Amino acid sequence: MQDLQDLGFDEAWSSTWESWIQELQESTARRYAGQLVPARVALAHKHLYRVVSAEGEWLAELSGQARAGMALLSDWPTVGDWVAVAPRQAEGRATIVGVLPRRSTFGRKVAGGRRDTQIVAANADIALLVTSMSRDFEPRRLERYAALAWDSGAMPAVVLTKSDEADDPELFEAQAMQAVPGVDVFRVSAMTGEGMDELRARIAPGMTVVLVGSSGVGKSTLANALTGTEQMLTQAARSDDDRGRHTTTHRELLRLQGGAWLIDTPGMREVGMTAIDSEGLSNTFEDIESLADQCRFSDCKHEREPGCAVREAIHTGELDSNRLRGYQKLQREIAYMRRSENAQLARQYVQNNKKLSKLSSRPNKRK
């Protein structure tokens, strides 16, 4: 049994749930009237899922109708997803009727030329960008990871590992802060425990985190330290089944000490590996900000406003329109976080990046 809130079902999810239920097709609504409960996907295996809800944990599969509606690979439930399920009490199983709209997604391209992506982690709030303070450290890679995180909808934070082995941890920290300005940087050692309290404090109860990083940087070790158990090594979590027996079940949504969650799927590990090869993107938007300073209106959204220096720069080719989209997405995320339960996160982010916040909340028109 798991309290819904403990699972990360906050106010914002609650209202997403309400409106999702409202918009159900009439036939579906009638068929499952009074039966649907929110549950979180802890494991996805082929077309069988393990879901956790306030009422219990079940194996679940999609209803025929839900399955028929899944046109894209990315529509399928994945670890971290919130789904609407109808428990089948007699069988101790559940039917997944639909997937709630996601807050964030990490995807991977699938082999075989499909342009579709497979979602390997859904609804992460924080992406810990893990790199060790050694030869592995590469600012450019951190930039890519941060861009990947911003793109996913999760908030990035850098974790520099193996501080016990580093000659000059401050230097790595300074370089990281320069590579991804405005992103929190934590220096930790899983060996000595240094910096772990600060990192734990950043991950509030109910939040969901993912780890992004290449092989050998210490992700498993970090995950073990955060879960406080050997969960990662054994890839298993203990749970009681309906008959009160202790069974060991494989899960990829792991509970951290302090009540947060970690999504650790094989696909998520791949994300950190492949990001290294992907097109590099800067996640800093200084160029756009200085252009925006020249817009006629200080609250210019850079859409159709007259005298917009940003659109002008796109017109002349000085600025890439994709970068503007990324920037606008970031602004929307900040706005979203302000409204949502993540208000705390937003404050933290905004504090770290006053420049951006000024830009998105400047009240007065200059002319």
Ligand X SMILES: Nc1nc2c(ncn2[C@@H]2O[C@H](COP(=O)(O)OP(=O)(O)OP(=O)(O)O)[C@@H](O)[C@H]2O)c(=O)[nH]1
Q: Is residue 290 within 8 Å of residue 106, measured between CB atoms?
A: no
Residue 30 C-beta-side C-alpha neighbours within 13 Å: 3
Structure tokens at 229: 């158990």
165 forms part of the interface with ligand X (CB under 6 A): yes
215 binds ligand X (CB under 6 A): yes
CB of 346 to Zn ion, least distance (A): 23
Instruction: Give the C-alpha separation, 248 to 234, whole Å.
Output: 10
Q: Which does 220 bind (CB under 5 to 8 A by kind): Zn ion, ligand X, none?
A: ligand X
Residue 136 engages ligand X in binding (rule: CB under 6 A): no
Among the listed ranges 20-28, 39-47, 157-165, 254-262, the one in contact with ligand X (CB under 6 A) is 157-165
How far, CA to CA in Å, does 254 sit from each of 1, 45, 284, 290?
Answer: 15, 16, 32, 43
Smallest Cα–Cα separation from 54: which of 104, 8, 122, 100? 8
55: partner contacted, choices Zn ion, ligand X, none (Cβ within 5-8 A by kind): none
Would you count residue 220 as binding ligand X (CB under 6 A)? yes
Up-side HSE of residue 316: CA atoms within 13 Å toward CB? 7
List phi, psi (to 5°) of 180: -130, 75
169, interface contact from ligand X, Zn ion, none, CB < 5-8 Å by kind: none
Bridge partners, residue 93, by sequence: 59, 88
Residue 217 is a binding residue for ligand X (CB under 6 A): yes
Per CB under 6 A, contacts with ligand X among 185-204 are: 189-191
- Residue choice 69, 216, 258, 307 for contact with ligand X (CB under 6 A): 216
Please give the radius of gyration of the chain, using alpha carbons only, rounded to the nearest integer.
22
In the complex with ligand X, the residue whose CB is nearer, 63 or 221, is 221
- Closest to ligand X by CB, 162 vs 255, is 162
Cα separations (Å) of 248 from 53, 263, 276? 18, 18, 35
By C-alpha distance, which of 275, 265, 270 is closest to 138? 275
* Alpha-carbon gap, residue 38 to 55, rounded angstroms: 10
CB closer to Zn ion, 209 vs 300: 300
CB of 293 to Zn ion, least distance (A): 10
Q: Of 2, 105, 161, 342, which one interacts with ligand X (CB under 6 A)?
A: 161
Go through 66-78 and write b for each residue having 16 or more CB atoms within 10 A of its CB, e for each that does not.
beeeeeeeeebbb
To the nearest whole angstrom, how small is the minimum distance from the Cβ of residue 200 to ligand X?
15
Judged by CB under 5 A, does residue 308 bind Zn ion? yes
Q: Does 302 bind Zn ion (CB under 5 A)?
A: yes
219 is a contact residue toward ligand X (CB under 6 A): yes
Q: How far is the CB of 132 from ligand X (least distance, A)?
A: 7
Contact footprint for Zn ion (CB under 5 A): 295, 300, 302, 308, 310
In the complex, the residues that contact ligand X under the rule CB under 6 A are 161-162, 164-165, 189-191, 213, 215-221, 269
